Amino acid sequence: MKNRTSLVLLAIIALLALAVFACASGPVTPIGNATGTATGTAQGNGGEVTVTITMEDGFITGVVAKGDGESPTIGGPVLVRAPSLIKRYNSAQFDAVSGATITSMAVAQAAQSAIDQIVAAGSTAEIETAADE
C-alpha cells in the first residue's frame, strides 16, 4: 500500500510540474508588423521615467529604461530588470517588482506608450501606401 501511495504522489507532482512548465512557455506573438523606434514617458516615484522601444516586424528588439530621479535601491532594479522582461515577452506588461510598484507601473505605461506610437506610425504608413495604389 505504501508503494502505491508513493507512486500516486509522484504522479501528482509530475503533473503539477508539467502544468507549471507548460504555462510558462508559450510562443511570443508579434505586435502587428510594426517597425520603428519611439520613446514613452510616465511619472515614476522619483520623477519622470522614459522608455525607448525599438521594434522590427512586430517584435521588440531593444528596450532602454531611464529614470534619473528613481532611487537606486528601490526603483533602480525595475529600470534594470524590466527591459529584458519587456523584450522577452514582447509586451509592456510585466509583474511589478515588489516594493517598487509605482516605478514598475511607470515603466509599463511608458513602454506601452512607445509601442503604441510605433504601431500607429506603421498603420498610418500602410494606409497611405494602400491609398496611393
Report all structural domains of the chain as residue ranges with CATH numbers, in order of start. Answer: 36-132 (3.90.1010.20)
Q: What is the pLDDT of residue 124?
A: 52
Find cell 502587428 and name the residue.
Answer: 32
Q: Residues 90-104: pLDDT tens digits?
A: 999 998 888 899 999
> Is the pLDDT reported for residue 10 higher than 70?
no
Residue 61: predicted pLDDT: 97
Q: What pLDDT, on the 0 to 100 scale, is given for residue 9?
A: 53
- At 57-91, the pLDDT tens digits run 999 999 999 999 999 999 999 999 999 999 999 99
CB 57 within 8 A of CB 33: yes
**Pick from 60, 56, 33: nearest CA to 129:** 33
